[in-house]
A and B are shown apart, each in its own frame.
Chain A
Amino acid sequence: MLAVIVGGGRGGSYLAQDLQSQGYKVKVVDRRTDVVAKLRQEIDGEVICGDGCNPQILEQVGAEKADLVVAILHDDEDNLVVCRLAKHHFHVRRVIARVNNPRNEWLYTKAWGVDVAISQVHLTAKVIEEEIGLGELVTLLKLNRGEAALVELRLPETSPCQGKIIRDLSLPADTVLVSIVRDGKLVIPRGDTRLQAGDEVLAVSTVAAEQALKDILAGPA
């Protein structure tokens, strides 16, 4: 599996190492020579000095053979250009991009070749929101152009599903519980897993089913 990461800043470097540990062959592109020199010491993969928005450079990197392209540059217009080239010109199956300015998030769509957009500011804001609010459904990641989302909810004391097992919750059909974090430990949810107040429940849900999911986990508002 080949992953091409465009942008070798802190995020790109960390991601490269992470993907490598997951078994990906990683190539990182950055046009800044000092960043490239630093990256070559930090990661095992190939580091290419060049502008990843330039189709010629992407071709040199072998973008058409990549299973995954990640655009993690600091300007949104650059990320969008990388995504569009990767998807429409090099036909990369999976294209992921970082949103820098939340004002530009609306542009990160399928038309621009973006499969998944990750907004750090958005994410941070949501996490903070979540730390403050109990029993609120928080969107962590939008999937498939916003059709579904990875959401999180911490069960409040008043949760109607406290003490119940998952099988008995009658969850909406378009949702699935992915994980539960309890006292800092991960619990993989099964039908007979019993929920407790304070559980951090991670779920994938369609947008349409979100409200129903929230009502079941936290109780109707």
Chain B
Amino acid sequence: MRVIIVGCGRVGSHLANALSAERHEVVVVDMNPLSFSRLSREFGGRMLTGIGFDRDILQKADVEGADALAATTDSDNVNIVVAVTAKETFKVPHVVARIYNPQAAEIYRREGIPTVTPTLWAANTMKTMIANPSLSAVATLGSGEVESVMLEIPKGLAGRKVKDFIIPGESVVGALVRRGRAELPSAEAKLELGDKLHITAVVSAVPKLEKLISH
């Protein structure tokens, strides 16, 4: 794949290194040439110094032949301008922008620009870790609307049924891991001490699950 990465900060450089290691053709653009020092020694792509939405820079980066573009500068507005220009003007098939402002991210997502909102994601993950300690967060999905959590069944919950953790429209039980073996449990399955239950729930339902567990 031919990928353009605009912004060689922590996220951009990691992304560039990872894609380059998988032998993708990578071009990294940053205003500050010193940022390129974040790239690994093995990085095999190109580096361009300049503004990500400058026409000359985009042309030098061969935007018309690119398969994907990621906008990861520390400015939401630069990322938006770069991503929208790549998608709408140069028809880059896969474009993603990092947007800190959740409201703005939502607007651009509706316009068809996929966005990553690290602020929301981090806040939701931390909230689960702090407020719901008996549930360990496995993954935060989307921009944090849905959490995948893992519950290790303590003594007090042994004998309860899987369906006790299913709240219609709010949570589903994805998998049960018993003695190292995973299965898709029926709703009526009885839980044993040490079972690991994987629950996927909307964020608002996580406190409800927590309550259920502590009772």
Q: How far is the CA of A27 from the CA of B113 in the complex (A)?
A: 30
What is the distance, in angstroms, from B163's C-beta to the closest C-beta of chain A? 41
Query: Is A10 located at the chain interface by the 8 A CB criterion?
Result: no
What is the distance, in angstroms, from A121's C-beta to the closest C-beta of chain B? 16
Q: How far is the CA of A171 from the CA of B45 in the complex (A)?
A: 57
8 intermolecular pairs with C-beta atoms under 8 Å apart: A55-B101, A75-B77, A77-B53, A77-B75, A77-B81, A85-B107, A103-B54, A104-B53
Query: Is A158 located at the chain interface by the 8 A CB criterion?
Result: no
User: Which residue in A55, A81, A103, A106 is a CB contact (below 8 Å) of B77?
Assistant: A81
Interface members, chain A 153-168 (any B CB < 8 Å): none
Q: Which residues of B contact A (CB under 8 A)?
A: 53-55, 75-78, 80-81, 84-85, 88-89, 101, 103-104, 107, 111
Query: Is A194 located at the chain interface by the 8 A CB criterion?
Result: no
User: Which residue in A55, A81, A85, A88 is a CB contact (below 8 Å) of B81?
Assistant: A81
Q: Which residues from chain A contact B80 at a C-beta distance below 8 Å? A: 77, 80-81, 84
Q: Are A56 and B111 in contact (CB under 8 A)?
A: no
What is the distance, in angstroms, from B80's C-beta to the closest C-beta of chain A? 6
Q: Which residues of A contact B (CB under 8 A)?
A: 53-56, 75-78, 80-81, 84-85, 88-89, 103-104, 106-107, 111-112
Q: Can you add 8 more A-B contacts, CB < 8 Å, to A84-B80, A111-B89?
A: A53-B76, A77-B75, A77-B81, A78-B77, A84-B84, A89-B107, A104-B54, A107-B53
Q: Which residues from chain B contact A80 at a C-beta distance below 8 Å? A: 77, 80-81
Q: Are A55 and B104 in contact (CB under 8 A)?
A: yes
Q: Label chain A's interface by main secondary structure.
A: helix
Q: How far is the CA of A54 from the CA of B88 in the complex (A)?
A: 22
Q: Are B53 and A55 in contact (CB under 8 A)?
A: no
Q: Are B75 and A55 in contact (CB under 8 A)?
A: no
Q: Are A56 and B76 in contact (CB under 8 A)?
A: no
What is the distance, in angstroms, from B107's C-beta to the closest C-beta of chain A? 6
What is the distance, in angstroms, from B204's C-beta to the closest C-beta of chain A? 21
- A53-B76, A88-B111 in contact; A107/B101 too (CB < 8 A)? no
Q: Which residues from chain B contact A88 at a C-beta distance below 8 Å? A: 111
Q: Are A106 and B55 in contact (CB under 8 A)?
A: yes
What is the distance, in angstroms, from A9's C-beta to the closest C-beta of chain B? 17
What is the distance, in angstroms, from B110's C-beta to the closest C-beta of chain A? 9
